[in-house]
């Protein structure tokens, strides 16, 4: 059958800063997914989009075209409202782990399709896979069963969900076109809308360890995604949150699971607890769950922990099994007395990645025990020789490159300089 358009005309239109028509967008996304538009043609179009942008109609249509490339999930068999959270990714961002069972304990259902880490940011599935036996791949029927039984499920998106995005994302990764706001927004929202959640809370990270280090660009991304969700009938809101400093005191897969379990046991670092509780309240409100257990109480009284244990067991994991530990460690100490005024999230993330917590190619194996423990955070007084980081890995030859990444990550001052930190919640954007 004859094709509707020639890809080269669509590329030229965007190159020359014209709007793409709905028909052009529908066709090019579909034809690329079918293999009719070649990678080199789509690469050129993606670069033209990165350079010349898309308006909100084009972004919305592009998102719909990606949704329509695959299946749409639906959860009408559940007896409670669904709500999900998506983070744009950061260093030490393990919030999904305590958050999903916490929100389930407070009365909403959380169907969460998560990803793996690439580069310096960790991935929720890699973290959970450090729990012996835990399985990331579930069929749709298994997903529904876990949701019905435990109120929360965290698993990998199946091949049938937004296949256009899978192909496009892999291409963007190797053509320096990941950073375009229309492409990030449509990529994230096509998967979240196809996932069938009724409400969605976005955690858009900003600061050195985030995709969008500039808060203004983070706000634009947040607004674009809120608009896409709202138009699709999903109650969507976004928090723009700090990622200038790593979240919590650990970055690395099993290390982050251990810290998440501390939060579920009613302890854990203050920033993790605060962000988890804020996001849980936003999710419950967005889902319309009223007069329910407060998230703070659900963390204190063990109900969130019960849901965690059930959720992990339902996916084959043993919540009581000891978590893997790396075989080698190396301690980094403070070089002087003073106040720790800055800790660069990007540098910590890159160091954890180089220790083996992350991967540099899709499909590579990660080390469950690798990563970094932080023993102090900005705002604390430290003494020369005091432990600041412990680096963990199974391969001691990784320390050198990790230490190089940490060069300049810390600033310690004894001149009364102010701590340089973004507020935890930078902005809130509602549809
Ligand atoms: N996460 C996604 O799923 N897509 C992007 O484009 C960026 C982050």
The answer to the question of residue 22 being in a domain is yes
Q: Quote the ligand 1 centre to 329 CA distance (angstroms).
A: 33
The reported pTM is 0.96
CB of 409 closer than 6 A to ligand 1?
Answer: no
48 secondary structure, DSSP code: H
| Pocket of ligand 1 contains residue 184 by CB under 6 Å | yes
94 and 28 co-located in one domain: no
DSSP type of residue 410: E
Domain residue limits at 346: 328-413
The reply to whether 253 and 392 lie within a common domain is no
Question: Could you tell me if 229 and 431 are in contact, meaning their C-beta atoms sit under 8 angstroms apart?
Answer: yes
431 located within any domain: no
Whether 409 is covered by a domain: the verdict is yes
Rounded Cα distance between 212 and 408, Å, is 21
Domain identity same for 366 and 408: yes
d(CA 320, CA 180): 43
- The answer on 279 and 144 residing in a single domain is yes
- Residue whose CA lies nearest to ligand 1 atom number 5: 184
Same domain, 103 and 13: no
Residue nearest to atom 2 of ligand 1 (CA): 188
Residue 221 CA to residue 388 CA, distance in Å, equals 34
Question: Looking at the domain assignment, is residue 419 inside a domain?
Answer: no
pLDDT in tens, 351-372: 999 999 998 777 788 999 999 9
Q: Where are the alpha helices (DSSP H) in 81-160?
A: 96-105, 124-128, 140-150
Nearest-angstrom CA–CA distance, 119 and 48? 25
| Boundary residue ending a domain (304, 321, 338) | 321
Query: How does pLDDT run across 211-251, given as a tens digit for each residue?
Result: 899 999 999 999 999 999 999 999 999 999 999 999 999 99
**In a shared domain, residues 35 and 97:** no
Number of domains the chain is built from? 3
Give the distance (Å) from ligand 1 centre to CA of residue 189. 9
Token code pair at residue 393: 């890995």
pLDDT digits (tens, 9 = 90+) for 130-180: 999 999 999 999 999 999 999 999 999 998 999 999 999 889 988 999 889
Can you tell me which atom of ligand 1 is nearest the CA of 88? 8
**Residue 191 bears catalytic tag:** yes
187 C-alpha to center of ligand 1: Å? 5
Which CATH number goes with the domain that contains 116?
Answer: 3.40.1030.10
Active-site residue identified among 94, 127, 166, 191 = 191
Do residues 151 and 222 share a domain?
yes
What is the CB-side half-sphere exposure of residue 160 using CA atoms within 13 A?
Answer: 8
Residue 137 in domain: yes
- Name the catalytic one among 26, 64, 165, 203: 165
* Residue 86 is a catalytic residue: yes
* Contact in structure between 151 and 104 (CB atoms under 8 Å): yes
Structure tokens given for 283: 């999710």
Any domain includes 169: yes
**343 and 394 both lie in a single domain:** yes
Q: Which of 59, 66, 88, 169 to mutate to test the pocket of ligand 1 (most atoms within 8 A of CB)?
A: 169
CATH number of residue 27's parent domain: 1.20.970.10
- Residue % of the chain over a pLDDT of 70: 100
Tell me the per-residue pLDDT of 276-331, one tens digit each, with 9 for 90 and over. Answer: 999 999 999 999 999 889 999 999 999 999 999 999 999 999 999 999 999 999 99
- Give the span between the Cα atoms of 396 and 153, in whole angstroms: 36
The DSSP element (H or E) to which 354 belongs, if any, is none
Å from CA of 89 to ligand 1 middle: 9
Q: Whose CA is nearest to atom 1 of ligand 1?
A: 188
**Residues 346, 212: Cα–Cα separation, whole Å:** 12
- Residue 345: CATH number of its domain: 3.90.1170.30
| Active-site annotation holder among 86, 347, 354, 398 | 86
Domain termination site, one of 321, 351, 385: 321
Q: Is 360 a catalytic residue?
A: no
- Tell me, yes or no, whether 297 and 394 share the same domain: no
* Rg of the chain (C-alpha set): 22
Residues 41, 115, single domain; the answer is no
Q: Are residues 175 and 119 part of one domain?
A: yes
> Looking at the structure, do residues 94 and 243 belong to the same domain, yes or no?
yes
Asked, for residue 264, whether it belongs to a domain, the answer is yes
121: pLDDT confidence band, cut at 50, 70 and 90?
Answer: confident
**Residue 187 in contact with ligand 1 by CB distance below 6 A:** yes
Give the span between the Cα atoms of 22 and 26, in whole angstroms: 6
Structural domain includes residue 63: no
């Amino acid at each position: 059958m004859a094709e509707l358009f020639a890809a080269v005309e669509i590329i030229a239109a965007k190159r020359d800063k014209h709007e793409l028509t709905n028909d052009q967008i529908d066709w090019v996304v579909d034809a690329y997914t079918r293999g009719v538009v070649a990678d080199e043609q789509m690469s050129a179009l993606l670069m033209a989009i990165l350079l010349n942008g898309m308006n909100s109609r084009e972004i919305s249509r592009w998102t719909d075209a990606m949704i329509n490339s695959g299946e749409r999930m639906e959860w009408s068999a559940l007896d409670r409202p669904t709500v999900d959270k998506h983070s744009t990714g950061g260093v030490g961002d393990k919030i999904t782990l305590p958050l999903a069972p916490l929100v389930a304990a407070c009365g909403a259902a959380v169907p969460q399709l998560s990803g793996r880490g690439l580069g310096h940011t960790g991935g929720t599935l890699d973290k959970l896979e450090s729990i012996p036996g835990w399985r990331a791949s579930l069929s749709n029927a298994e997903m529904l069963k876990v949701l019905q039984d435990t109120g929360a499920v965290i698993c990998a998106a199946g091949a049938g969900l937004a296949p256009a995005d899978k192909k496009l994302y892999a291409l963007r990764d190797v053509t320096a076109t990941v950073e375009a706001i229309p492409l990030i927004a449509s990529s994230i929202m096509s998967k979240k809308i196809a996932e069938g959640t009724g409400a969605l809370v976005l955690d858009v990270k900003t600061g050195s360890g985030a995709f969008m280090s500039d808060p203004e660009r983070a706000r634009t991304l947040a607004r674009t995604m809120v608009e896409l969700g709202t138009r699709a009938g999903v109650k969507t809101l976004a928090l723009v949150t700090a990622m200038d400093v790593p979240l919590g005191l650990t970055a690395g897969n099993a290390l982050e699971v251990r810290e998440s379990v501390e939060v579920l046991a009613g302890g854990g670092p203050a920033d993790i607890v605060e962000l988890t509780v804020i996001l849980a309240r936003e999710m419950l409100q967005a889902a319309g769950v009223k007069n329910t257990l407060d998230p703070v109480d659900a963390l204190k009284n063990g109900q969130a922990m019960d849901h965690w244990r059930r959720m992990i067991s339902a996916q084959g994991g043993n919540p009581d099994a000891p978590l893997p530990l790396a075989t080698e460690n190396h301690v980094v100490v403070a070089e002087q007395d003073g106040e720790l005024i800055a800790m660069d999230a990007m540098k910590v993330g890159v160091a954890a990645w180089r220790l083996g917590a992350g991967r540099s190619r899709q499909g590579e194996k990660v080390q469950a025990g690798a990563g970094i423990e932080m023993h102090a955070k900005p705002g604390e007084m430290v003494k020369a020789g005091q432990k600041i980081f412990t680096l963990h890995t199974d391969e001691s030859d990784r320390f050198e490159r990790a230490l190089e990444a940490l060069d300049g990550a810390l600033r310690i001052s004894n001149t009364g300089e102010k701590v340089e930190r973004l507020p935890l919640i930078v902005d809130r954007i509602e549809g």
